[in-house]
Structure 1
Amino acid sequence: MAAYSKSHALMRRGADFLGSEHAILCGAMSWVSERNLVSAISNAGGFGVIACGAMNPELLDKEIAATKALTDRPFGVNLITMHPQLTDLIAVCARHDVTHVVLAGGIPPKGSVEAIKAFGGKVIVFAPTLALAKKLLRSGGDALVIEGMEAGGHIGPVSTSVLAQEFLPALAEDHLVFVAGGIGRGEAIAGYLEMGAVGVQLGTRFACATESIAHPAFKKAFFRASARDAVASVQVDARLPVIPVRALRNKGTEVFTAKQREVAGMLDGEALEMAEAQLQIEHYWAGALRRAVIDGDVENGSLMAGQSVGMVTQEEPVQAIMDGLMAQCEAALQRR
């Protein structure tokens, strides 16, 4: 602990909240943030988070149990607020005494925060605007993640640095705020800690760790990529409000644009209802991501990655990544 004295002093509130040595969360990456990577991150002193994604309650139950078999340290579960079985998934978390639940993908539906609190779980929320952040924190959110558009996967329109300047002065004194999006080195962590963040969240940096089950071809695509290769998807029809997704440019990004046009055409012909059309778009992403991560189809699958991907140049054990981030953070703070 003494080796990172300044870092831990600034991270103390976040680390105490998470129950971890370092206040470094791993972003929940579907198909990637499973038992192996999650347990490795928690064992390395960070805080791993299972990506529930489209899992049903039975699969989540097995994943939590398997993760517990690999670590005795705290970890969390990320649940998508629009999941049709959200109530049942929260019940699974309750049975396993999950300490922290991350609610992502939209405003938590009525009763969800209360259900998590009822079994003693801590609630971590996301908010794209300061007004919504204040509302969610008043409504029971225990901590907030602000995530900039540099992140991988589903993103908002504002950069991490701007969000940090807007949110931290208003919230950091009274609330626990973690910063995410485009963070790849410890010097950036140091900067956000000095601004008032209690910790950070990184995803892309851990995606190609030795313990990650991602296909070797998926990892090689990351190693070859630069920041400018991680591009945001384009919405082609206003009737299909698609949350932009940042991923490495490949044939799959072109296919997604064509998929939107196809679904929009079916809407024109009244062959689809709006809800079903939007669901088709979401199902596309789920399948495309699996093709890349698990099957290694880096041409047609979705290579979701943040702009920090250019800093991912080789496969490393999670412990080495964590130690490197903390050493960089501490060195930056010691130079101040």
Structure 2
Amino acid sequence: MRSSVATVLGTEVALLQSGMGGVAGTELACAVSNAGAAGCVGGYKLMGEALSAVLGRLAAGTSRPVGVNFIPEVVGPDDLARQVEQVLAETPPHVHVSLFGMPEAAVFERVAASGRVLVVQVGTVEDGVLAAERGAVVVAQGIEAGGHLLGVLRRDELVARLRDRLPSACVVAAGGIGSPADAERAVAAGADGVLLGTAFVVARESWAHPQFKAAVCAAEGADTVITGVYEIGWPGRRHRVLATPVTENPGQPKKFIGRTSVEDRSYLVPRFSAAVPTVATTGRIEEMAMYCGLSCDSVSDETSAADVVAGFAAVLPAAAQYVDMG
């Protein structure tokens, strides 16, 4: 027996929103959760007072299941432990922890001891099996995804392999899901729900820069590239982005090309930065990292987060829907 991710998280729809740093602020996360899915705010490197401000807005914005996403390989084990402890201490039980990539064993143990749900995104069968054995919801990311890539397998192949190894685990599909038909294929491959990123980049509540949103709406999958050039702040991890003058000519100097603001703190943006252009960013937006998955084929207009959720609800496993594996 296995359950829909809607049952595990307590949502109405088996749909998760990706906790995209910079793009996924509290407005987007709360809008997705209030629409019946699982929103997620991008915590990235935030901690201390800055993270407290985000957590306060998140708890005030929705009483429904919602997540906070962190990236183990970017912050390291000590800072990740502090971030997780802060979430557990400062938020109510309906807030779950979401991780992009595998943490150390202590994080699994700490979240489990708290009674909260832990969602872990992986790109390999081995990591997925380990995360599931330690009690996490597993998000299986295929190479169709926008943003940083955790593996080399296509989405449905990874889902199918994980389902074969994990007949009872909760497995969520991610990567290249832009339409209900894409979601149906992922469920047919064995997924218990789906995670969307690119479709929410263009949501009205997203903090993506208007130029970023327009570029995603105008793009097709062939306009994306897998590269390693946007490495400042997140080195050594391939990523899928829209082709830009920087991906086309990576030999340019690492000069500052803009400025952005995060929780009222101003930062210079160098060329090759991993940071996305947001509504608080100025400068050469067209040269910045615009993460975008193959699902852009099905994304053509800015819409509300609630409309995105409603468009997928009918094809996804419902809450309390169980699948008999016998």
TM-score (norm 1): 0.79
Contact preservation (8 Å) 2:23, 2:276: no
Distance 1:295 1:153 in 2: 19
Aligned pairs (5 A) from 1:221-260? 221-234=215-228, 242-254=236-248, 256=250, 258=252
SS in 2 for 1:21: coil
- RMSD of equivalent CA atoms: 2.8
Aligned pairs (5 A) from 1:79-98? 79-82=70-73, 83-84=75-76, 85-95=79-89, 96-97=91-92
Higher relative contact order by CA 8 Å / sep ≥ 6: 1 or 2?
2
Match of 2:281 among 295, 299, 322: 295
User: Are 1:201 and 2:201 counterparts?
Assistant: no
Q: Deviations over 1:180-228 (max 9, x none)?
A: 0000111221222233311110110111111112221111111111111
User: Are 1:159 and 2:154 counterparts?
Assistant: yes
Distance 1:286 1:62 in 2: 29
Distance 1:292 1:255 in 2: 23
* Displacement of 1:57: 3.0
Match of 1:102 among 77, 93, 98: 98
Contact preservation (8 Å) 2:5, 2:192: yes
* Displacement of 1:118: 2.5
Distance 2:81 2:213 in 1: 35
Contact preservation (8 Å) 1:182, 1:308: yes
Change (3 A) 1:111 1:245: same
Task: From the CA coordinates, give the structure whose radius of gyration is larger.
Answer: 1
- In structure 1, what residue type is equivalent to 2:143? M
Change (3 A) 1:285 1:34: farther
Contact preservation (8 Å) 1:218, 1:293: no
* Displacement of 1:295: 1.9
Q: Which residue in the other structure is 1:269 paired with?
A: none
Moved over 3 A (4+): 254-260, 283-288, 290-294, 327-330
Match of 1:64 among 55, 59, 73: 55
Q: Which residue in the other structure is 1:278 paired with?
A: none
Number of aligned pairs?
Answer: 295
Q: Which residue in the other structure is 2:108 paired with?
A: 113
- In structure 2, what residue type is equivalent to 1:102? S
Aligned pairs (5 A) from 1:143-222? 143-155=137-149, 156-171=151-166, 173-222=167-216
* Displacement of 1:56: 2.5
Change (3 A) 1:301 1:16: same
Contact preservation (8 Å) 1:205, 1:312: yes
Contact preservation (8 Å) 2:14, 2:316: no
User: Are 1:133 and 2:128 counterparts?
Assistant: yes
Which runs of 5 or more structure 2 residues have no equivalent in the other structure?
256-268, 318-326
SS in 2 for 1:33: coil
| Structure ranking higher in helix proportion | 1
* Displacement of 1:293: 5.7
- In structure 2, what residue type is equivalent to 1:316? T
Distance 1:312 1:181 in 2: 14
| Structure ranking higher in strand proportion | 2
Change (3 A) 1:328 1:143: closer
Contact preservation (8 Å) 2:137, 2:169: yes
- In structure 1, what residue type is equivalent to 2:202? C
Distance 1:125 1:79 in 2: 10
Match of 2:16 among 22, 25, 28: 25
Change (3 A) 1:257 1:76: farther
TM-score (norm 2): 0.81
SS in 1 for 2:199: helix
Query: How much identity, in percent, do the aligned residues show?
Result: 30
